[in-house]
């Protein structure tokens, strides 16, 4: 499994991903799920991936090749971020079809992406690209998108993230969301990658990679656990009253 998260804020985008891949419990590896592209100066994109690793790698390779050989349509020729999302959906679909046709019924070549970035002249945008090639974006009410093992880490996002949240606060919230997920699900694990894209910079932006024993990650995990238990202790007692 996987847990990846993208957050669209008024001031930019936040991306966070784990790095554990597994095909069965005895075939666990570490792969980055956060992909950057060498694009033109007027744009910057980040891609997060979840699902079949072979399909993911094939799609990322194809996107890079199309850039390199300057294919008629590539990430540099896309006029908008959603045009680029459409293109990624098409590349993904084609790649999946190739392996599904081979006819292994239990085989699942599906991948889901979070794709975000900015092209000069427009606002930054964030998309979730489904295995079927279609995609959705964020809204004022739902400023974040998740793929993979999304449930454990969702409650804290719902409570904290608003479009006006600062990039720093959203990045910290992404780490907390990731920590809750790692704690509850074995198939999600470090290194954790965190990248923030600041609006109108067209630069890859600040990036951190946290290993399992990273002091900050451990401190957040420990402090959060302790504060949650403290918060829980301050809750009003149940009044059992006359009911019963």
Residues forming the site for its own copies (CB under 8 A):
151-152, 154-156, 158-160, 168, 171-173, 175-176, 180, 183-184, 194, 205-209, 216, 219-220, 223-225, 227-232, 234-240, 243-244
Count of other CB atoms within 10 angstroms of residue 6: 27
Q: Three-state SS string across the chain, please?
A: CCEEEEEEECCEEEEEECCEEECCCCCEEECCCEEECCCCCCEEEEEEEEECHHHHHHHHHHHHHHHHCCCCCCCCCCCCHHHHHHHHHHHHHHHHHHHHHCCCCCCCCCEEEEEEEEECCCCCEEEEECCCCCEEECCCCCCEEEEECCCCCHHHHHHHCCCCCCHHHHHHHHHHHHHHHHHHCCCCCCCEEEEEEECCCCCCCEEEEECCCCHHHHHHHHHHHHHHHHHHHCCCCCCCCCCC
Q: In the complex, what is the shortest distance from the CB of residue 241 to its own copies, in angstroms, rounded to a whole number?
A: 8
Shortest spacing between CB 11 and its own copies, in angstroms: 15
Nearer to its own copies, 69 or 240 (CB): 240
Please state the closest distance from residue 173 (CB atom) to its own copies, in A.
7
User: Are 114 and 4 in contact, with CB atoms under 8 Å apart?
Assistant: yes
Distances (CA, A) of 137 to 26, 124, 140, 158: 36, 11, 10, 17
Q: How far is the CB of 177 from its own copies (least distance, A)?
A: 10
59 versus 161: smaller Cβ distance to its own copies: 161
If the CB atoms of residues 14 and 63 are measured against its own copies, the closer one turns out to be 14
Shortest Cβ distance from residue 12 to its own copies (Å)?
14
Q: Shortest gap between Cβ of 75 and its own copies (angstroms)?
A: 22
Closer residue to its own copies in complex, CB, 155/164:
155
For its own copies, give the closer residue by CB, 82 or 214. Answer: 214
* Least CB distance to its own copies at residue 85 (A): 26
């Amino acid at each position: 499994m996987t847990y990846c998260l993208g957050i669209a804020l008024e001031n930019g985008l936040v991306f966070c991903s784990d790095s554990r891949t597994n095909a069965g419990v005895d075939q666990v590896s570490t792969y980055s799920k956060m992909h950057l592209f060498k694009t033109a100066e007027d744009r910057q994109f980040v891609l997060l991936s979840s699902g079949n690793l072979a399909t993911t790698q094939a799609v990322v390779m194809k996107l890079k090749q199309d850039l390199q050989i300057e294919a008629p349509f590539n990430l540099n020729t896309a006029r908008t971020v959603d045009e680029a999302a459409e293109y990624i959906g098409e590349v993904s679909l084609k790649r999946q079809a190739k392996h599904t046709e081979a006819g292994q019924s239990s085989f699942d070549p599906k991948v889901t992406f979070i794709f975000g970035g900015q092209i000069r002249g427009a606002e930054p945008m964030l998309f979730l690209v489904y295995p079927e090639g279609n995609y959705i974006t964020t809204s004022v009410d739902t400023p974040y998108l998740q793929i993979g093992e999304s449930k454990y880490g969702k409650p804290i996002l719902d409570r904290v993230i608003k479009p006006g949240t600062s990039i720093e606060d959203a990045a910290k919230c992404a780490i907390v969301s990731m920590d809750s997920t790692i704690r509850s699900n074995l198939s999600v694990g470090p290194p954790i990658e965190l990248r923030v894209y600041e609006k109108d910079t067209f630069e890859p932006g600040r990036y951190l990679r946290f290993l399992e024993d990273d002091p900050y990650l451990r401190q957040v995990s420990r402090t959060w656990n302790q504060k949650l238990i403290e918060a829980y202790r301050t809750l009003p007692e149940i009044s059992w009253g006359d009911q019963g």
